[in-house]
Amino acid sequence: MAESGRLPQARALLQQCLHARLQVRPAEGDAAAHWVEVMSAPQLRLSCGAQGRFLPRCLGDFCPRVQRGLVIYVCFFKGADKELLPKMVNTLLNVKLSETENGKHVSVLDLPGNILIIPQATLGGRVKGRSMQYHSNSGKEEGLELYSQFVTLCKKELAANSKCAEAGVVVEHGTYGNRQVLKLDTNGPYTHLIEF
């Protein structure tokens, strides 16, 4: 989406998932680590029988291989403006990359699917010799502010969408500045890069 020739303000990487688990708080002292999860539960319940007790089995090889969640890795660059965010969220949630059970591609809102947002500053790196440099990345405070507003906007979009509200899909997100300990289970990550 970024016009060629000008530097992007933000970079987003999209991957489709069947199930994802992200640590949002590391273990500290006696306190266990906190995790968030997105998975294809509503669809799987329908596919494998109405009884909730079947659900755990359904996360394995017994179920239809459908793509039910979207992972958005996001990175902001220096000069990124919060006025960019509505357009960015609109594009990411409406681009037709999520596969239905019939193999058709629709938006994550139309699927409807869960969303996992991961702050990923490393996406802004540039190779310099054998190392990576991150000079183009937004500053920490500015990046946190943009990230928080991005998450809020995604949540608002989902809440305003009747299909998503009915299906009970959710937006989960990583903690800015933390290590993003991630487990991902896909039926093909179908990785896409979109710059803004």
| 3-class DSSP state of 31 | strand
Q: What mask of x and - would describe binding to its own copies in positions 109 to 138, judged by CB under 8 A?
A: ---------x-x-xx-x-x--xxx------
For residues 99 and 88, give the distance between their C-alpha atoms in angstroms, rounded to a whole number.
21
For residues 108 and 72, give the distance between their C-alpha atoms in angstroms, rounded to a whole number.
11
By DSSP bridging, strand 105-106 and strand 98-99 are antiparallel
Q: What mask of x and - would describe binding to its own copies in positions 23 to 62, judged by CB under 8 A?
A: ----------------------------------------
For residues 192 and 196, give the distance between their C-alpha atoms in angstroms, rounded to a whole number.
13
Nearer to its own copies, 11 or 173 (CB): 11
- In the set 39, 115, 151, 194, which binds its own copies (CB under 8 A)? 194
- In the set 95, 144, 167, 170, which binds its own copies (CB under 8 A)? 95
By DSSP bridging, strand 131-133 and strand 34-39 are unpaired
Interacting residues toward its own copies by CB under 8 A? 1, 5, 11, 13, 65, 73, 91, 94-97, 107, 118, 120, 122-123, 125, 127, 130-132, 179-194
